[in-house]
Structure 1
């Protein structure tokens, strides 16, 4: 057995990475990689154990074991495996990249960035390294730096579709729409049925797609060789171009087909979700008084239905010199998952046994994970819409935080959800009846929590902002404990990155003509019926 393993000349040289293994060990390693890719941990673990039993310390096997531990949220074990791999191959860009992924998953953002940057420095001509760095910088909100890294990836590999698409997304978030469109079009030049590129073009809401795109989409959707994810994304894009042209029945048909295909991938269960909401509500009704009532006063949560105006209200708050707009952060849910893993029970089953000290510890963990958003300004927004589900337990976890519950007319918001492709599945927005069920659960829960804690939860009407912008903005700032600042009235002039599908819309002054649902007439009656509205 070799004391050290031959180091590959290039990170992508997979043959060299496994050259010192026997044919059987290589097969086991390939089987482990496939199982990790497919999300099947048990056979991956078994295959890696077999390889390492015969080749102890092999760096490629240790690297895969680190990835497996990261997927299982076993971050200490992941870091140990990856550091052991790096002891054999100290300058391996792939192991450094995966160590960065483990650090990020554990909430150690600066360590993660250091590893990713080192990987790029060690292999400056490796496009996937730059793509990975750019992708993670974008996820972390460092959009300008992400653009630079992704531009390097595109220059090194002009046909690398994901790099062009993600670069387009980052440019949209910075408001550089023409450049973004050129990269989406570059992806389509390589692969005309690239669903992610069509999704990017369609998500620039204020820019109508031309008739030639409609013709191309119809032709592509008639082909039999289009992958299902691409077909779904193109269906949503066809819905947008039809609506832009006033072809409402055709738009509804395209969107209905796309949503039906999306739902078949992972059906959302309204009954199960209702049970979850009820159990979370019950947990939030019997929490211990907080030990530190001001803990979390740095945070402003913006919650509600997607497509309800939450990005607009974040843009207003982020125009204030004391507030950083952090967009949709995963940290609150991640902290609850960490606690669930620690206790061996899913949330909210363990909530009744959590003490005031436990909730305070979780609140501090959230503030620790989000500390980078307070480096320039003392307050920050977290606008993940579905955080409304945690509004109750936030009273014990971060009692000083303010929660802005954005309400838009449910028919308009619900229809807007139906038109938007969501990637986190299963999702409620694939049928009009499921949307209505979700709205009922959300509004019922938030009405109860707002009535019980009006000092920390504000119901903010989108239509009220349109009717009297200055009065509503003043009231919003007062609720958040912020002095009035005239910059909030000119929110559309802010130059921050906006990482949601509303990136184009909130860079414009308020538009009072946003209603679209009535144009679809009785086609939306299932949604009206579920919302208890008169039928068309």
Structure 2
């Protein structure tokens, strides 16, 4: 027991190899020890060794039949390994053995939601909120108020207010505030909705430990490092079997919509919002040069770049993406354009733009899990948007042929024309299936996962106008008429 306890402590401290050694030592004494098998499964998940994770987690479930966490972890492993059908089987089985467990309902409901089975998600969440209340109840209500018919919304106000009185945890209250705001918005009670959105944002802002203005030296250094000389240096000749494609921009500018439209093309695959550049490539460069990003971009030799390319390609292989064009749709990759160009001189970079006020409102009215100031303050978002615009203007001047800009509004107005233009930029022929994106069952786990299961509509471009006067009280006067992108 002491060895197992120590192994779990090491795992909690992220000392994976030491923990692995101890878990295996436990299994030498008893190869049916469920907690040790579960520990090894979790280690494999962190190491992204998903096939091994599935092996250990299956065995853990066998010897821990009354525990749900190994089942949830096994479902996650199947999803990461590209086997959503198996994940669905596991989660549906979990619900049969834990019918009164709210977490079991939430996990299955989220799976349905991520894969476009909206009605199934609705039914599962509805049963889930009838279970004994817990932290997860707020999250199920948050999802429900966005997908149920308007005629059912009134019935959710009372349970949400009850949760506010029951929860002492401010982070959970934030979720409830957002749910109440979404509910009021759909009921056209815009003043009340705005009050709840303000409460949600101001409460979450308390957990942010920096201000957006502190990022100015970082963005200035990006432009200074990735200057004319940086791009004038002769590029390596790079031959890849795929076209590296990056969809980037500010959050809530339509990247999920564009990705889903492109994914209907037979030659296009996606890594989703992959953080491989910031999580693997940049740490390698930082360690090698003993300097932070972007200063670590100096002296990028061919061997260094080859290693970084290998790390990126390994990630694609791990995700089993084999198409001719491979999308990475992480919006924040606009910071990494210099490195992207050095790695893949022929990379296709698609920059999405949107009316500033519509974008700002969409960010302000959605719950981001990350406690970043620009996700929960209009003024902070304004500052971040300015950094973004300055950075993109810089890179567009440096490598104009690599960057194609498309506005969200144009995509809504003329989807066929705009998709043809994007596909041409990606060296692909138009396929009409791209316009049937809402019928697909690709996994979507962004904030737009329910929205992209519906045909295009104009509501997203005008929702902010219900709050135009209220927003003006929170943004500096000189910015109220400014648009950083397009303003139809």
- Residue 397 of structure 2 is aligned to residue 454 of structure 1: no
Q: Structure 2 CA distance, aligned partners of 1:296 and 1:333?
A: 23
Residues 285-434 of structure 1 aligned to structure 2 (within 5 Å):
285=227, 286=230, 289-295=234-240, 297-336=242-281, 338-339=283-284, 342-343=287-288, 345-375=291-321, 377-434=323-380
- CA 1:509–1:69 in structure 2 vs 1: closer, same or farther (change >3 Å)? closer
Q: Which has the higher contact order (CA 8 A, sep 6+)?
A: 2
CA displacement, residues 86-138 of structure 1 (integer Å, 9 cap, x when unaligned): 33443333333333333333343333333333333444553221112123444
User: How far is 1:452 from its partner?
Assistant: 1.8
Match of 2:458 in 1: 512
Contact kept in structure 2, 1:91 and 1:122, CA below 8 Å: yes
Aligned with residue 95 of structure 2, among 135, 138, 154: 154
Match of 1:13 in 2: none
- Residue 14 of structure 2 is aligned to residue 69 of structure 1: yes
- Residue 131 of structure 2 is aligned to residue 185 of structure 1: no
Q: How many residues align?
A: 476
Q: Structure 1 CA distance, aligned partners of 2:140 and 2:331?
A: 25
User: How far is 1:335 from its partner?
Assistant: 1.1
Contact kept in structure 1, 2:242 and 2:324, CA below 8 Å: no
User: How far is 1:472 from its partner?
Assistant: 0.7
User: How far is 1:282 from its partner?
Assistant: 3.0
Aligned with residue 421 of structure 2, among 475, 478, 485: 475
- CA 1:122–1:192 in structure 2 vs 1: closer, same or farther (change >3 Å)? closer
SS state of the match for residue 424, structure 1?
A: coil
SS state of the match for residue 116, structure 2?
A: coil
Contact kept in structure 2, 1:96 and 1:115, CA below 8 Å: yes
Residues 93-242 of structure 1 aligned to structure 2 (within 5 Å):
93-138=34-79, 142-189=83-130, 190-191=132-133, 194-204=137-147, 210-221=153-164, 223=165, 225-242=167-184
Aligned with residue 254 of structure 1, among 188, 196, 218: 196
Q: Structure 1 CA distance, aligned partners of 2:221 and 2:146?
A: 35
Structure 2 stretches of 5 or more lacking a match? 483-488
Q: Structure 2 CA distance, aligned partners of 1:212 and 1:315?
A: 33
Contact kept in structure 2, 1:172 and 1:204, CA below 8 Å: no
Match of 2:485 in 1: none
- CA 1:128–1:103 in structure 2 vs 1: closer, same or farther (change >3 Å)? closer
User: How far is 1:250 from its partner?
Assistant: 0.8
SS state of the match for residue 69, structure 1?
A: coil
Q: Structure 2 CA distance, aligned partners of 1:293 and 1:84?
A: 46
TM norm structure 1: 0.81
Q: Structure 1 CA distance, aligned partners of 2:96 and 2:9?
A: 29
User: How far is 1:396 from its partner?
Assistant: 1.3
Using the TM superposition, name which of 418-427 and 182-191 deviates more.
182-191
